[in-house]
Homo-oligomer: A and B are copies of this chain.
Amino acid sequence: MKLRDDKKAGQIFRSVLTLVKEKGLAGITMGEIAKEAGMATGTLYIYFKNKEELINNLFFECRKEALENYFVNYDESLPFKKGFSIVWHNILQFRIENFEEVVLMDQCYHSPFVNDCTVKLTKEMKKPLYKLIERGKKENFFKDVDDMTLLTFMIGSIHEGVKNAHYNRKPLNKAAIDAMFKMCWDGMKR
């Protein structure tokens, strides 16, 4: 008997990401997804109940993967600035390397496909980032500003930078990245 292939869902996800980057969430059809994934349309429906569920799952998966990557090599025992730098660079790196995911997630807000439930779930995942910010404040590195504002500023410094580099086709080099980090740090520091 042929059993459900665990790789298939991943293949499907990858195809959607490719297509979203090319033509946006708006213009994607199930037929195109299947074609890009090298399978029949019907097969998509074995792995996902419908388009909404497919996109939701992908959105959730992307968010999860992103946040999992953020803390690679981070260790609470490291001095704060070093640790913060690692996380900041992880986020930047992830967004550069996985720009397709970034595009998808951006497009998913306000989209009819992503439901509130999925949005809520992804919020939960942000907690480690808040912990990092709190540590920065407790160790007196950061300004006395509320956590959310600080985190948003940090994310913004990366987010906009990566988008810009991509759309202007100017890959970020070491110098630009260093400058960006310095600006972020200087902005946040007390």
Contact = CB atoms under 8 A, between A and B. Distances in A.
Interface of A: 20-27, 103, 106-107, 109-113, 143, 145-146, 148-150, 152-153, 155-161, 164, 167-168, 170, 176, 179-180, 182-189
Given A25-B26, A155-B160, A156-B161, A149 B180 contact: yes
B161 A160 contact: no
Interface of chain A, main secondary structure: helix
A149 B107 CA distance: 24
A172 to B, nearest CB: 9
Contact of A187 (B112, B145, B187): B187
Nearest to A151: B164
A24 B145 contact: no
